[in-house]
Amino acid sequence: MVTLKIDGIQVEVPKDYTILQAAEKAGVHIPVLCHDSRLNPFGACRVCLIEAVGNPRMMTACTTPVAPDMDILTNTEKLQRIRKTVIELLLVNHPLECPVCDKGGECTLQDLTYEVGLTKVRFDAKPADTPVDHTNPFIERDVDRCVLCGRCVRICDEVVNIQAISFINRGMETMIGTAFDQPWNCEFCGQCISVCPVGSLNNRVYLFKNRPWNLEKTDSVCGLCGCGCYIELETEGSELYRMGELPEKGANHGNLCAKGRFGFEFVNSVKRETSAKVRAAGELADADFDQAVVTVAEKVKSIRAQHGAEAVAVLVSPRLTNEEAFLANKLAKEVIGTGGMYALEPHSSLPEATYADIEKSDAVAVLNIDVTEANPILGLAVRAAARMNEAPLYVFYPSETALKRLAEKQFTGTPDEVYASMTRLVEGQGAEAAVLEVLKKAEKPVAVYNPYNTADLWFVSELKKQVPALKLAAARAKANSQGIVDMGALDAAKLKEGIQNKTIKALLCFGENPAVRTGWADLSLDSLELLAVTDPFMSETAKKASVYIPVATYAEKDGSFTSLEGRVQTVNRALCKGLKTDAEVVAALAARLGGSLPSCSCEVRELIRKEVPLYKEADFDGGVISYPYAVKGEFEKPAKAAAGEGAYFLYPSSLRLHSGSYTRWSPDLAKVYGEPKLEISPADAEALGLGDGDAVSVSAAGITKVFKVHVEKHMTKGCAALPEDYVDTAQIFSKGRYHKVSLGKKG
């Protein structure tokens, strides 16, 4: 510990602190421009200059470490004068278009100009007039406004680890760009936008749509993937305008991915349904809400009277909040009288490692999942471990992933080869034995895996037996994938069986879209006498419904989601589109069926505390639940991954831009990735005579589908990948996750 004085205030801080950190602790404000607490000190802007008594030179507070007995002055007349000049110099090259610039109102340079009281610039402004770059789908770039603080370059390197952008040229010519002026080819996470202190990098989805002082801000949680990012929903009236990041709150440190940051537009979509529908004479016809609920309730009653309560099943989706899932469970058990509700989510694995565990880990294994694509923020934690903590990182995945540049070793190959590799890992044989040794020796080893595949569960449970210290992170796919399991959702295998052998006659499907889910797309729902579906959109399943009720999205409801870390976080309603929430639908149904359930989330939360032992002490504002186990169950050692006879291995890939069926309704994400594409390696593409965008037919397990080709140099020769959660691909993957397929050029 070091003791020093800042503006006369004595503070004691650890010796690796910078003067800026010490000042923060002392409660002294030092203006900064190029500094960001998430990034390494850089010292580019000189705005944070301070004086140390007895030292004639001034120092930058953000980069200078503290020393014992320093006497720091942060606001002398000399400093004020110099700060003013620094800002003046910055403004020479910075066009003063504040009323037009999208950053107006939240621009650090604007704020600093006010703060130092600058009213007149002594130097002639010489703004360049470089054209604004609109080529990137998500990022608008105006290099003239750049103050060369390097925050974007640093966050893309230090946190995202993509190094998509850098300083190019020198001296007066310096600017931010890509090597050889290539188009930005990156993760589109928008982290660079979020740190840019001026309006040089702007969010194109929000571009010129509104202004910060005009927007209402509501803290909430992203409702798309299982990462559970803490966000700020920025709204005006009933429109959602922007996803803001909150670096101080939440486990994601303000980082978001392309889906969360740019994909929210589906909430405002005009394609959303506004009226309930009841099927009459084969067609779905508009009905009012009460009528729809009555129809469902009457049908449920008659089916229950005829076939017993077990003929009615409830299926919930991970879009439901914990509160809603809890109510749905009560509806199933107490009001209808069945065994409970089902969900298409695995039960054998529960959260264990938190992001902090992963970031601090000293050895990381990523098992058969493209984690930066599937769960981008979990991916950032893995990157932080490998980059900042220098933990050895081992990646097992059929193709090369974005973790390539950080991985100590990658084990790629066909799915069969990857499984063989993982088998050698758990058995401690071959080249993989060394990896097992590293994991065994590590103090805080972590493994990230895909919990949706039972074959993978065998590997992690075996690995856990070998390395008891290993902490597991199950990469759950959707916003509340964990929460609905915690609220008692049952394994849906029984539901599938019930529908297949027709013992289930009525299905109340809350938000789920089985028609595009792997393992379910081949299930015919036609034998059901009642299929009631709630969904914000007319989904593939909703189209088959006998009663359809449009419902609110995550931005329009209160409740909580449990992330893949096991972190319970509160979701707050930011806007209202006049639609019912799933909780209200459940409550209305219960009332019609002669029960009574509350729909207000605080009431339900009390019930959860009482009735769900895991959540007895839960802190719904970011507390982590401690689970009884990480993986449990008997898993069979997978024999061969892929079935079938074709020449190519097909496996499901993850997409950063889409997680399931929600994001497909986002017009902005669809611009970049609108339809499923088959990824193959350049060598295979050449052999098949295919180029980017060509049509290719994929035949597997008796199904033939046509997709567009995307030639991807990271793909392993002999492999092909398709994204999950599209109607066509779900049908293929429902026959098995891995296939030997034959590919043929079309047309």
Partner 1 sequence: MKNIFDTLLLTEIFQGLGITLKHLFKKKVTYKYPFEDTPIFPRFRGVQYIKTHENGATKCVGCYLCQKVCPSECIHIVTDCGPNGERLIRKYELDLSRCIYCGFCEEACPVDAVHMGRNYHTTDSTRDHYVINMKTLSENYKKELADAQAKGEQL
* Residues forming the site for partner 1 (CB under 8 A): 98-100, 104, 132, 134, 140, 204, 207-211, 213-214
What is the pattern of x (binds ligand FES, CB under 6 A) and - over residues 7-36? -------------------------xxxx-
Q: Which does residue 2 touch among ligand FES, partner 1, ligand SF4, none (CB within 5 to 8 A, set by kind)?
A: none
The owner of tokens 């000399």 is: 78
Residue 275 CB, nearest approach to ligand FES (Å)? 54
Q: Which does residue 196 touch among partner 1, ligand SF4, ligand FES, none (CB within 5 to 8 A, set by kind)?
A: ligand SF4
- Interface with ligand FES (CB under 6 A), residue from 45, 515, 555, 743: 45
Q: Are 381 and 352 in contact (CB under 8 A)?
A: no
Residue 86 in contact with ligand FES, rule: CB under 6 A: no
Q: Which does residue 213 touch among ligand FES, ligand SF4, partner 1, none (CB within 5 to 8 A, set by kind)?
A: partner 1
Q: 276-282, long-range: CB within 8 Å, 24+ apart, which pairs?
A: 276/547, 276/548, 276/549, 276/550, 277/545, 277/547, 277/548, 278/546, 278/547, 278/548, 279/545, 279/546, 279/547
Any residues with CB less than 8 A from the CB of 305 and at least 6 apart, and which? Answer: none
Residue 107 CB, nearest approach to partner 1 (Å)? 13
Residues 359-378 that bind ligand SF4 (CB under 6 A): 376-377
- Interface with ligand FES (CB under 6 A), residue from 11, 62, 447, 470: 62
Residues 639-658 that bind ligand FES (CB under 6 A): none
How many Å apart are CA 528 and CA 493, to the nearest integer?
17
Query: Torsion over CA of 421, 422, 424 and 427, rounded to 10 degrees?
Result: 180
Q: Are 705 and 698 in contact (CB under 8 A)?
A: yes
Beta pairing, strands 719-723 & 648-653:
parallel
- Closer residue to partner 1 in complex, CB, 30/669: 669
Helical segments of 388-453, H only: 415-427, 432-441
Residue 251 in contact with ligand SF4, rule: CB under 6 A: no
Q: Are 366 and 395 in contact (CB under 8 A)?
A: yes
Q: How many CB atoms are located within 10 Å of the residue 86 CB?
A: 19
Residue 231 CB, nearest approach to ligand SF4 (Å)? 7
Six-digit token string for 693: 């965008």
Pick the closest to residue 188 from 157, 162, 222 (CA basis).
162
Residue 730 CB, nearest approach to ligand SF4 (Å)? 20
How many Å apart are CA 85 and CA 96, to the nearest integer?
17
Q: Ramachandran region of residue 337, left (φ > 0), alpha (ψ -120 to 50) or beta?
A: left
Residue 131 CB, nearest approach to ligand SF4 (Å)? 16
Q: Which does residue 165 touch among partner 1, ligand SF4, ligand FES, none (CB within 5 to 8 A, set by kind)?
A: ligand SF4
Residues 200-239 that bind ligand FES (CB under 6 A): none
- Closer residue to ligand FES in complex, CB, 33/439: 33
How many Å apart are CA 8 and CA 201, to the nearest integer?
39
The one-letter amino acid at 154: R
What is the pattern of x (binds ligand SF4, CB under 6 A) and - over residues 252-291? ----xx-xx-------------------------------
Any residues with CB less than 8 A from the CB of 687 and at least 6 apart, and which? Answer: none
- Closer residue to partner 1 in complex, CB, 98/614: 98
Judged by the rule CB under 6 A, the positions of this chain that interact with ligand SF4 are 99, 146-152, 155-156, 160, 162, 164-165, 176, 184, 186-192, 195-198, 200-201, 222, 224-225, 227-229, 256-257, 259-260, 376-377, 659
Contacting residues toward ligand FES, per CB under 6 A: 32-35, 43-48, 60, 62
